[in-house]
Amino acid sequence: MPSLAPAPTTLSNQLRRLGLTRAATDLNDLLARAAKDRWTPVALLEQLATSELDDRAQRSLERRFKRARLGRFKPMADFDWDWPKELDRPLVERLLSLDFVRDAENLVLVGAQGLGKTMIAKNIVHQAILHGDSALFTTAADLLLDLNSQETARALDRRLRHYTRPQLLCIDEIGYLAYDAHAADLLFQIVTRRYEQKSIVLTTNLAFRDWHTIFPNAACAVGLIDRLTHHATLVKIAGDSYRRREAERHPKSRRA
């Protein structure tokens, strides 16, 4: 292939107008490599397309992570499997393969505080994002506060669609606070909209038989539990608080 001159500015601009921003940015570098390595025209076009597709995939991944609102978390490689007195490790590792998400099933992690429920849930959400799924992580308190704050039916419907849209929704820390019947109705709407369509990962410190303490006056509580647990995997974690153990092993001295 003969030596290629730098591409005209108009060509880069035209690529940008077509939405091919990475191809426009890389154009001159790829033309130089094409001349040096004697690429065919088809090879040059393939490299331009690959550059654009790789960039779009990376930007899509970054957008999904941003929208998921995961925050900081430890990877499963740091999980102390020997600490819980009860935890089905093979089951958790199978869940990280995300088959339950493909089947639009739910996952419920049940255990006391400090046993790694949130860590497992966040790693599952992280895996889903890496595999191309949209996901959202939130606490029950934040979700219900958001929905309760909507002042019109239209605004509420918009927020309900926000929580219905992701392929995977993780609701953390159900059971630490009690809610009124209206909050139960709002959560019931989200679960119903996602029922048999998209997956929910839920963490709770209470067995379902004790959920009447979370929604003490809610008529929909039985229906809520029924939809959550139908087509669901239940993972029980038992033992002493890992965070408490860490605090006792590494006490921090505080001086005034």
Q: Any long-range contacts for 63-70 (C-beta under 8 Å, 24+ apart)?
A: 64/129, 64/133, 64/134, 64/135, 65/129, 67/134, 67/135, 67/136, 67/166, 68/125, 68/129, 68/134, 68/135, 68/136, 68/137, 68/166, 69/136, 69/137, 69/138, 70/122, 70/125, 70/126, 70/129, 70/137
Kindly indicate the confidence band of residue 256, based on its pLDDT and cuts at 50, 70 and 90: very low
Give the tens place of pLDDT for each residue, 192-245: 999 999 999 999 999 999 998 999 888 898 999 999 999 999 999 999 887 666
Mean local confidence (pLDDT), 128-146: 97
pLDDT of residue 95: 98
Question: Cα dist. 165→169, 190, 198, 200 in Å?
Answer: 9, 10, 9, 12
pLDDT of residue 1: 46
pLDDT of residue 242: 74
pLDDT exceeds 70 at position 14 = yes
- From edge to edge, which strands make up the β-sheet containing 168-174? 135-139, 168-174, 199-204, 106-111, 232-237
SS3 39: coil
pLDDT of residue 67: 95
Give the tens place of pLDDT for each residue, 27-76: 889 989 999 999 999 999 999 999 999 999 999 999 999 999 999 999 99
pLDDT of residue 218: 84
pTM of the predicted structure, to 2 decimals = 0.83
pLDDT exceeds 80 at position 246 = no
pLDDT exceeds 50 at position 255 = no
Q: Which CATH class is domain 76-247?
A: alpha beta
SS3 251: coil
CATH 3.40.50.300 in the chain is located at 76-247
pLDDT exceeds 90 at position 253 = no
Task: Give percent of the chain with pLDDT exceeding 70.
Answer: 91
